[in-house]
Amino acid sequence: MASQRRSHFLPLVLALSACLVLPAAAQDSAAGGSAAGLTAKLQALIGRLTGNKLPAGIFSTNGRIEAEQVLVAAKLAGRVLAVLVEEGQTVETGQVVARMDTSELEAQLAGAQAQVRRAEKAIAEAEAAIAQRESERTLAEQEHQRASRLNQSGYGTAQSLDLRQSQLNVAVAALRAANAALDEAHASADAARAEVARIQSQIDDSTLRAPRRGRVEYKLVQSGEVVAAGAPIVTLLDLSDVYMTVFVPARVAGRLALGDEARIILDPAPDYVVPATVSFVASGAQFTPKSVETADEREKLMFRVKLRIAAELLRQYEDRVKTGVRGLAYVRTDPATAWPDTLGVKLPQ
C-alpha cells in the first residue's frame, strides 16, 4: 500500500516542482537563493515519499536469524539419572550435560572382568601344562635313544624300541595339545578384555557431554525419565555458526559468489548494521512454477542463500544472539558498488 501511495504522490510532487521551480529560474539573480532553497525542500519531500533507493548493485530482501542446532542424545536406552543444565545456559565443549543410570552396565562390567581373570588363570594353567609336556617329551626322547642303541648292539628287542617310539609320539602329541590349549586361553582372555572394553565404552557414553560450545535451547527430558536409544535429551544452539536465511530471485542468485559481502539490519535493533558474508547459495530453486518459459516466469525462481556472521563477531556479542529474529538483508551483486553510508557497519559499543 505504501508503494502505491508513493506512486500516486510522485507525479503530483514532480508537477508541483516544475510549476514552482521553473518560474523561479526566470527571475533575476536576486531571487536565485530562494529558488534553490525551494528546490532542496522539494527534493527532500520527494525522498520521503519515494523512499531511499539502493544502488543498482545492491539487493534487499527479508530474512530470519538462525543457528546450527545440535542434539545431545542418549546412545543407549535407559533411565536418565540427572540433567545438569538449564535452558538458556551456555555450555563449553566437553561439559557434562546429563548422566544416564549405569547400575546394570556396571554389573555387566564386573562379570566381564571376572571372565578376564578366569581366562588369565587358564593361561597360567596352560603354560604349566606345556612345561610338563615338554619334560615328558624330553624323557621319552631319551628313552627312545637308549632303546635304539640297545637294539643296534643286539641287547635290546624290537618290541622295546617300538614301545619307546610309541611313548615318544604320545609325548609329542600331548605337547602340541598343551600349546593349542594355551592359544585358546589367550583367545578367551582377548575376548573377555574386549567385552570389558565394550561395556566400559557404554558406561562412558552414558555421560552425555556437549560436542561443542553453545547455548541450551530446549531441555527435552527430566531426571528419572526412561528414554529410548537415540532419544534427544538437550538441544544446543551453536553460537559460532549463526546466519540469516534469505531468498533471492534467480537474477540475483546468479551474480552472487561465496564470500561476497552482505549487511544485516534486525527489526529489534534498526540502528545497527551487522556485517555478514554469503556462505551458501542453493543450487536449485526453492519456488519453481510449473512451466518456465517467459522472463516474468523465470523471475519467480527463488534461491535460498545463507548470510553468515563471523564467529569472532558473534563471540563479542554472544549474549545478544537470538534465533528467529527477523530483519532486512542486503547483498551486493557488484563488488565495484560502494556501500551507502546508511549501510556502513555499526555495532553496539
pLDDT digits (tens, 9 = 90+) for 242-280: 999 999 988 898 899 999 999 999 999 899 999 999 999
pLDDT at 32: 43
**Do 38 and 126 fall within a single domain?**
no
> Which residue do the cell numbers 515519499 mark?
49
Last residue of a domain, one of 166, 189, 205: 205
**Do 41 and 126 fall within a single domain?**
no
Contact in structure between 69 and 237 (CB atoms under 8 Å): yes
Residue 57 included in any domain: no
Question: Checking DSSP bridges between strand 78-83 and strand 58-73, what pairing results, if any?
Answer: unpaired
Write b or e for each residue in 157-184: b if 16 or more Cβ atoms lie within 10 A of its Cβ, otherwise e.
eeebbeebeebbeebeebbeebbebbee
Alpha-carbon torsion, ordered 268, 269, 273, 274, to 10 deg: -60
Contact in structure between 63 and 307 (CB atoms under 8 Å): yes
Mean pLDDT of 30-58: 55
* pLDDT at position 3 over 80: no
Residue 162 included in any domain: yes
Residue 128 included in any domain: yes
Residue 223 belongs to domain with CATH number: 2.40.50.100
Contact in structure between 212 and 311 (CB atoms under 8 Å): no
Residues of the domain holding 40: 1-51
Write b or e for each residue in 257-288: b if 16 or more Cβ atoms lie within 10 A of its Cβ, otherwise e.
eeebbbbbbbeeeeeebbbbbbbebeeebeee
* pLDDT at position 34 over 80: no
Confidence category of residue 29, pLDDT binned at 50, 70, 90: very low
**Do 220 and 140 fall within a single domain?**
no
Residue 77 included in any domain: yes
Residue 37 included in any domain: yes
pLDDT per residue as tens digits for the range 277-331? 999 999 887 765 554 445 555 567 789 999 999 988 888 888 888 888 999 999 9
**Do 118 and 165 fall within a single domain?**
yes
Contact in structure between 277 and 302 (CB atoms under 8 Å): no
Report residue 79 CA to chain centroid gap.
Answer: 26
Residue 220 included in any domain: yes
Mean residue pLDDT of the chain comes to: 82
What is the number of domains present in the chain?
3
Residue 254 included in any domain: no
pLDDT per residue as tens digits for the range 48-58? 444 457 888 89
Instruction: Give the CA distances from residue 121 to residues 115, 130, 188, in Å, rounded to whole numbers and listed in that order.
Output: 10, 14, 11
Last residue of a domain, one of 157, 187, 205: 205
Half-sphere exposure of 99 (CA within 13 A, CB side): 7
**Do 110 and 190 fall within a single domain?**
yes
What whole-number distance in Å separates Cα of residue 37 and Cα of residue 49?
19
Residue 60 included in any domain: no
